[in-house]
Structure 1
């Protein structure tokens, strides 16, 4: 899109940039008492549109956590594009690498949120599917930068981004959400790989890790939630097959972290009133990346991400629920 009104990120003292390569969406929200069963119609409320997309959410969270952030992605040439980038701009994210795609709609996410605060999401890629290799070429990365990727843009572009980041010596954060068929080398380059328990099991299958559970990663219970101890063993299994480090988020139970030559540890969950879980995982990832870029270690970064995610679930929406207290 046009460079008019865009901001340019500069490295802040004591750290590098966070460069987020990913999706920019507009979220269409519906509030429901409970999620409908197959074939069932339920009445809902809200109907508001708000900025979203996993990449944009993570970029906003990183900027609010104090990082200099560059967003790389695509929007359509429609009126929704401005909605999609509005809070990125307000947060001070560099948008000069956001490209407007002629004839394509901005990405859309249809989100239903139940009274229990749980959500279900359908993503329509739109312009996000147009993010290409040229968009991630010449990012001018340094060893101080942290590059963040997810699964809502073409898989080959994610793989190319991570390969380029590794050549530049930048640190890579891979959020395997949604689960897509990334190159195993991309998963192993993650430092950390940030996943929930279901995504962790999918990564284990891809890399041939043996999950320490009732039936292993390919058994009939492979999609079942795991407890903290089982998640820690799974994180260690992923590290054992070559992943640089692993963070498994467990919602209200917190997160577990594993890295080579380090005992896995747990970030305890925080007891909060859950209003809406939309974007909370992205808030975790973006905040973690900002702390890493500032020179934090994996423990402090995961703990800060955990606190930010717990705050996010107490508000409605994704980016709006993040910590804007220091922003105008």
Structure 2
């Protein structure tokens, strides 16, 4: 089982000719209103790729709340742990996407800042549980939940996104850290690792904190170092339509594969393929692939490379 504690948003996405400069207004033809939020996205991706998922978080008492949960319900995510925060708005993200698929995002956190670790009961934090956490809720609530989960033997995956400080005692408590280049560099600098070259960050963090560190590199794939050594896993060869949410698909699919007993190298290949497929359609949760589609596309992923 996968327990996700995290954010639930509505995304407002616009396709633009290019990303705007400071002070500039751009016009576009239309917009797409769809469910999002890193917690919800990763829960949806994990469920779509075959996992039993429970989501814990908060939505507002507003018209966006039901829409934010639409795809999660369809994916059969257990939403009993999602609570309404009467005095807050449901979280909302604005996403601008240019023709290359690159994007920029701004998030109004809303009810996500009221999500509490206490919503997650001890009964679901077991050695059979994979706890999946991101950085779009109050950080101290994340750290409290990680401490409880570690004491009860759950496996813990932390996606350090958006970029923020992660305390050293937390890094010592988690099993897997996932970050992109910006996020990984931020974590490394905060703990005094000055050489922030992408090729060195995963190795340095893995060795110092006895964890598996995965640094995602967009279309170029990822670099990973852990107790069993290092790997470079390529991205799926595609022509992207929309990269928004691809990182969340990677993390959710990774957790899904880990939860069913796959090795980290095999889980990363599964997740890299899932993330690539999600870039072929616009939207976040609407573009997330099912497990069968990922397994069908896996042979198209180039070989991984062992790193010394």
The answer to whether the superposition gives a TM-score over 0.5 is: yes
- Cα displacement string for residues 184-225 of structure 1 (whole angstroms, at most 9, x for unaligned residues): 2222323210001111111111222242xxxxx4xxxxxxxx
- Cα displacement string for residues 19-41 of structure 1 (whole angstroms, at most 9, x for unaligned residues): 11000000011110001111111
Q: CA deviation at 1:324?
A: 4.2
From 298, 308, 311, the equivalent of 2:277 is 311
Question: Alignment partner of 2:29: what SS?
Answer: strand
Q: Distance in 1 between the 2:87 and 2:160 partners? A: 29
Matched, 1:254 2:221: yes
Q: Distance in 2 between the 1:325 and 1:184 partners? A: 35
Q: Distance in 1 between the 2:90 and 2:166 partners? A: 24
Counterpart of 1:235 in structure 2 is 202
Q: Distance in 2 between the 1:243 and 1:195 partners? A: 16
Q: CA deviation at 1:139?
A: 4.9
Q: Aligned pair count?
A: 293
Q: Distance in 2 between the 1:120 and 1:20 partners? A: 25
Q: Distance in 1 between the 2:64 and 2:244 partners? A: 20
Is the CA contact 2:239–2:280 (under 8 Å) kept in the aligned structure 1? yes
Q: Distance in 1 between the 2:33 and 2:291 partners? A: 22
Counterpart of 2:37 in structure 1 is 53
- Poorly superposed stretches of 4+, deviation over 4 Å: 324-327
What is the TM-score of this pair, normalised by structure 2?
A: 0.91
Q: Distance in 1 between the 2:61 and 2:97 partners? A: 29
What is the TM-score of this pair, normalised by structure 1?
A: 0.86
From 128, 131, 134, the equivalent of 2:112 is 128
Is the CA contact 2:50–2:291 (under 8 Å) kept in the aligned structure 1? no
Question: Alignment partner of 1:174: what SS?
Answer: strand
Q: Distance in 2 between the 1:79 and 1:326 partners? A: 34
Change (3 A) 1:80 1:243: farther
Counterpart of 2:58 in structure 1 is 74
Q: CA deviation at 1:45?
A: 2.8
- Cα displacement string for residues 282-320 of structure 1 (whole angstroms, at most 9, x for unaligned residues): 000000001111011111111110000000111101111
Unaligned residue ranges in structure 2 (runs of 5+)? 294-308
Matched, 1:208 2:175: no
Q: Distance in 2 between the 1:192 and 1:134 partners? A: 23
From 234, 237, 241, the equivalent of 1:271 is 237
Q: CA deviation at 1:140?
A: 2.6
- Cα displacement string for residues 137-189 of structure 1 (whole angstroms, at most 9, x for unaligned residues): 43531101100000100000010111111011011000000012332222232
Unaligned residue ranges in structure 1 (runs of 5+)? 1-16, 212-216, 218-229
Is the CA contact 1:189–1:243 (under 8 Å) kept in the aligned structure 2? no
